[in-house]
Amino acid sequence: MLFNSVEFLVFFVLVYGLYLAFQKHYRWQNVLLLAGSYFFYGWWDIRFLFLIVITTVVDYNTALIIRNGTSSARHRIVSSLYLMTASLLFLTLRWDALDFSPLWIGDSPELDLLGLLPRSLAGWSGFLLTTAALIGANIVYFVMIRLERDVRARVALALSITVNLGILGFFKYYNFFADSFAVLFENALGFTPDRFTLDIVLPVGISFYTFQSMSYTIDTFRRDVEPTESLVDFAAYLSFFPQLVAGPIERGKNLLPQFRRPRSLDWEQIRQGMWLIAWGMYKKVVIADNVAAIVNGTFGPYDGADPSSIVPDDGLRIFVAVLAFAVQIYADFSGYSDIARGTAKLMGFDIMVNFRLPYIAKDPSEFWQRWHISLSTWLRDYLYIPLGGNRSGPLGTYRNLMITMILGGLWHGAAWNFVIWGLYQGTILVLYRFFDERGWRLPDFRGKGFFKGIVMFGFVLYGWLIFRAQNLETIRIFTLSIFGHPHGSPETFAEFKTLLFYAHPLIIFQYLQVRYATLDPMAKWPLLVRVAIWTFIIMSILALAPSEGGEFIYFAF
């Protein structure tokens, strides 16, 4: 279910109405949020809900084992029942046996309840395998509790990380590595092995909730978070629909406690929530979706595995397309994050800010403190610092930076351009650090900050070229085109004009955010100004959004 769809509007109105009705019973609200979130996610593909349930059950018990040394019989029984019910509901039952379409012609719906049950053994395989896996997991558990308590906690954490990365690796990276190894064999050994690629569909948001869940168990291990005894609370935290499919990747210590106490609502929260939703929606449907036409018009013909290798002679047009992509990806992703934050705020939750005006960054380090903050801090806390961070000497630090950024690139998708993008980001971070450590800085002059911002933005733009290109050949020829043939045409000018037409309100608003040093400058503006801005935003969404809106870019990651 997309935020920018009628289905979501209907869904949210219903869920929110019920949520407000349960305002005095926060535990019922949690149950409602859990059911609503599963419905929200299952709208794409009900089968993938089972993956979320596996992650939920594994990490819920892992955290309890890490903290208490054991998972009590009650917790294990509840978890087992939860997993088996999920297996039955999401993998086994044939929901297409319920046909409501006859209602359209005044007939009664066909509710063949017996038809819900699979008729063949293969249809029950998911349920049987789940049962077998549960038996196996309990055996592992009884073996594990014989270990020393400290060792037990480490083993439990290792098992949890293995399960999480196993699922993520299989669904996201299996084909990439299978293909890459085949090519490696071909090049190195001169023979072509059989390629065991599978027809795997990437579950939406798997990278986001997997990282969120891993941070919970690791933080429990580090004693940074108190694990919850309530499976409902944890399941609702992990599947919280506003940020389930594209973040922010929340930390247990911030979001989980909010599920464990009553949430209060006040007008200021509602005002902020409504504004974040409207502003996020504006960024997505007005800016990102319209600017996408410029990006796709230039990159589209080069997408795919076998693009042209002729260097385009209109490098200025490529540059405008890259600029447009910088606007598109920022408006798309930060728009999603704003809608997520706004939706959560309407329900009394406070989730983290994911973007802080990233394009005003003056150096690579600052950029990563402003762009996709929930991922960059995750990588810092759970990868860069455990690798040794900056405590391993200059070379060690550079190595850690490179590893972190390459894996960060790979997190975005199983493709070589993301690896190269990570490598590129790592390189500019290392170079920046290298120069900074030696005190090689620009002399002071008027407009130095602005100059640094422009240079940094140039580096960011080149990064976006690597990121958007779907193959290495496109990166090569577009680079040669921009730097070797910087020519334009009337179409280039027209595309630039279109880009400015859609992006100028964003630029103005961001200027005001910088000027007033707040992400919410509107709060203190006079009523008439606020009404005028609201009118502009609403009318833009209604009148300027293309009829065919696109999915959010980060759904694919």
Partner 1 sequence: MPSDRTKISNSRSGGPSRLRRILTCVALCAFVLLLSELFLRIYAPVPMLPRYIASAEYGVRMNMPNQSYAHTTPDYEIQIQTNSKGIRSDREIPYEKPNAKKRIVALGDSFLMGYGAHPDEMLLNVMVERLRAAGEDVELVNLAVSGFGNAEELVALQAEGMKYEPDLVLIGWHGTDLDDNVRSGLFDLQDGKLTRAAETFLPAVKSREILFRIPLYRFLAGHSQLYNWFRDKVGEAVKTVLADVRDAQSAAAQAKQLEPTAPAPAADLRQETAEESAEDVSYAERLTLAILRRIDQVSRDGGAELLIIDIPERLNRTTFRSAYPLGPGFEDFNLFSPLPMFEERKGELLYWERSHGHFTPLGNRIVGEGAADLILERNLLGPPRE
CB of 502 to partner 1, least distance (A): 10
| Site mask for partner 1 (CB under 8 A), range 238-277, x = bound | ----------------------------xxx---------
535 belongs to the binding site for partner 1 (CB under 8 A): yes
CA angle 334, 242, 470 (to 5 degrees): 45
Element spanning 111, H or E: strand 110-111
Q: Dihedral (C-alpha) 491, 493, 498, 501: value to the nearest 10 degrees?
A: -170
507 belongs to the binding site for partner 1 (CB under 8 A): no
Local structure of 95: helix, strand or coil? helix
CB of 541 to partner 1, least distance (A): 11
Helices (H), 169-205: 174-189
CB of 120 to partner 1, least distance (A): 15
Element spanning 294, H or E: helix 289-299
539 belongs to the binding site for partner 1 (CB under 8 A): yes
Local structure of 439: helix, strand or coil? coil
544 belongs to the binding site for partner 1 (CB under 8 A): yes
Residue nearer to partner 1 on the CB measure, 86 or 522: 522
Residue nearer to partner 1 on the CB measure, 138 or 535: 535
Residue nearer to partner 1 on the CB measure, 105 or 189: 105
**Binding region for partner 1 (CB under 8 A) out of 325-333, 355-363, 479-487, 526-534:** 526-534
Residue nearer to partner 1 on the CB measure, 132 or 542: 542
Task: Rule CB under 8 A: choose which of 101, 108, 120, 187 binds partner 1.
Answer: 101
Polymer length in residues for the chain: 557
CB of 320 to partner 1, least distance (A): 21
In which residue are the tokens 């973007």 written? 355
Query: What is the bridge-based pairing of β-strands 98-99 and 110-111?
Result: antiparallel
**Binding region for partner 1 (CB under 8 A) out of 18-26, 99-107, 232-240, 296-304:** 99-107
CB of 383 to partner 1, least distance (A): 42
CA dist 343 and 350 (Å) reads: 10
CB of 171 to partner 1, least distance (A): 28
**Binding region for partner 1 (CB under 8 A) out of 32-40, 76-84, 514-522, 532-540:** 532-540
Site for partner 1 in 395-414 (CB under 8 A): none
Task: Rule CB under 8 A: choose which of 96, 107, 150, 306 binds partner 1.
Answer: 107
Give the pair of three-digit tokens for residue 276.
């974040």
CB of 544 to partner 1, least distance (A): 6
How many chain residues touch partner 1 (CB under 8 A)? 20
CA dist 288 and 290 (Å) reads: 6
Residue nearer to partner 1 on the CB measure, 454 or 529: 529
In which residue are the tokens 């549960």 written? 134
Residue nearer to partner 1 on the CB measure, 117 or 161: 117
CA dist 69 and 474 (Å) reads: 53
Residue nearer to partner 1 on the CB measure, 407 or 533: 533
The b-or-e profile of 185-202 (16+ CB within 10 A means b, else e) is eeeeeeeeeeeeeeeeeb
| DSSP assigned state of 363 | S
Give the pair of three-digit tokens for residue 452.
């640094």
Residue nearer to partner 1 on the CB measure, 265 or 415: 265
Amino acid, res. 199: D
CA atoms within 13 A on the CB side of 523: 15
Is residue 234 within 8 Å of residue 55, measured between CB atoms? no
105 belongs to the binding site for partner 1 (CB under 8 A): yes
CA dist 515 and 457 (Å) reads: 19
Task: Rule CB under 8 A: choose which of 73, 74, 104, 142 binds partner 1.
Answer: 104
**Binding region for partner 1 (CB under 8 A) out of 98-106, 137-145, 204-212, 313-321:** 98-106
**Binding region for partner 1 (CB under 8 A) out of 101-109, 177-185, 355-363, 506-514:** 101-109
Contacts of 304 (CB under 8 A, 6+ apart): 470, 471
Q: Catalytic residue numbers?
A: 412
CA 404 to chain centre: 17
536 belongs to the binding site for partner 1 (CB under 8 A): yes
Q: What is the DSSP string of 235-271?
A: HHHHT-GGGTTT-----HHHHHHHHSS-----HHHHH
CB of 101 to partner 1, least distance (A): 4
102 belongs to the binding site for partner 1 (CB under 8 A): yes
In which residue are the tokens 């930060």 written? 334
CB of 531 to partner 1, least distance (A): 6
120 belongs to the binding site for partner 1 (CB under 8 A): no
Residue nearer to partner 1 on the CB measure, 104 or 445: 104
CA dist 317 and 498 (Å) reads: 13
- Residues at the contact surface with partner 1, assessed by CB under 8 A: 99, 101-105, 107, 266-268, 528, 531-532, 535-536, 539-540, 542-544
